[in-house]
Amino acid sequence: MDEILIILISISFFIILMVVFRLIMSSISEQKRIEENQRRRVEHQRRREAYIRALENNSLEITPEQFFALKNGSQLQDFTGVYILYNQTKQMYYVGQGKSVFKRVNAHFTGHGNGDVYADYKYGDYFTIRMISLVNSGYDNLDELERQTILAYNAYYEGYNRTRGNRG
């Protein structure tokens, strides 16, 4: 009788060890899957940021004063796209979008856009402007281009943007 009890206890102990082992292995496997998914998300985000930066590199960087001179001195064709306002003094970005980008940029520097951008500009901070057209950007809609640009410049966490962009 004692031998049967010892055998049953041994079998029970073995079964418990196997269950614990499977739980541990399952947990390790799940952790690896989570880490791999996170690595893929980070890599995908890096590629999107690099793409946005490449789009920006094909744009002209101008000061607000140059912008006003261009706007007032010619009949520039307005366009749909995003704009990146960079406060070089504070190293902060604001990313916005518009069906009429020139009108939107003008609004920010004349007190009819983001109040913080205008206040910093009015009190002497040095800004530059970049504009990216939706056409040939590789994006299907303006909201997605804006969201990805906000992400690329970290304009929500460390800039002027108060939202992560429109959700379309």
Return the domain boundaries, the chain: 1-58, 59-152
- The mean pLDDT of 3-13, rounded to a whole number, is 80
pLDDT at position 88 over 80: yes
pLDDT at position 168 over 70: no
Backbone angles phi, psi at 94, to 5 degrees: -130, 130
Predicted local confidence at residue 123, as pLDDT: 96
pLDDT tens across 33-87, in order? 788 878 877 887 777 777 777 776 667 789 999 999 887 766 678 899 999 999 9
Three-class SS state of 133 = strand
- Residues 6 or more apart whose CB falls under 8 angstroms from that of 83 comprise 95, 96, 97, 98, 101, 104, 105, 129, 130, 131, 132
Which sign, positive or negative, has the C-alpha torsion 111, 68, 64, 161? Answer: positive
- Structure token digits, residue 144: 């997605």
Predicted local confidence at residue 118, as pLDDT: 97
Q: According to CATH, what is the number of the domain 59-152?
A: 3.40.1440
Answer with the residue of higher pLDDT: 143 or 11: 143
- The mean pLDDT of 2-25, rounded to a whole number, is 82
pLDDT tens across 103-147, in order? 999 999 999 999 999 999 999 999 999 999 999 888 999 999 999
Tell me the C-alpha to C-alpha distance, in Å, between residue 80 and each of 71, 96, 122: 16, 11, 26
From the CB of residue 155, how many other CB atoms can be counted at a distance below 10 Å? Answer: 25
Torsion of CA 50, 51, 53, 55, to 10 degrees: 170
- Residues 6 or more apart whose CB falls under 8 angstroms from that of 150 comprise 95, 156, 159, 161, 164, 165
Q: Contact at 8 Å (CB) between 72 and 65?
A: no
> Could you tell me where the DSSP H helices lie in 2-114?
2-57, 64-73, 101-109
Q: Contact at 8 Å (CB) between 127 and 86?
A: yes
pLDDT tens across 153-165, in order? 999 999 999 999 8
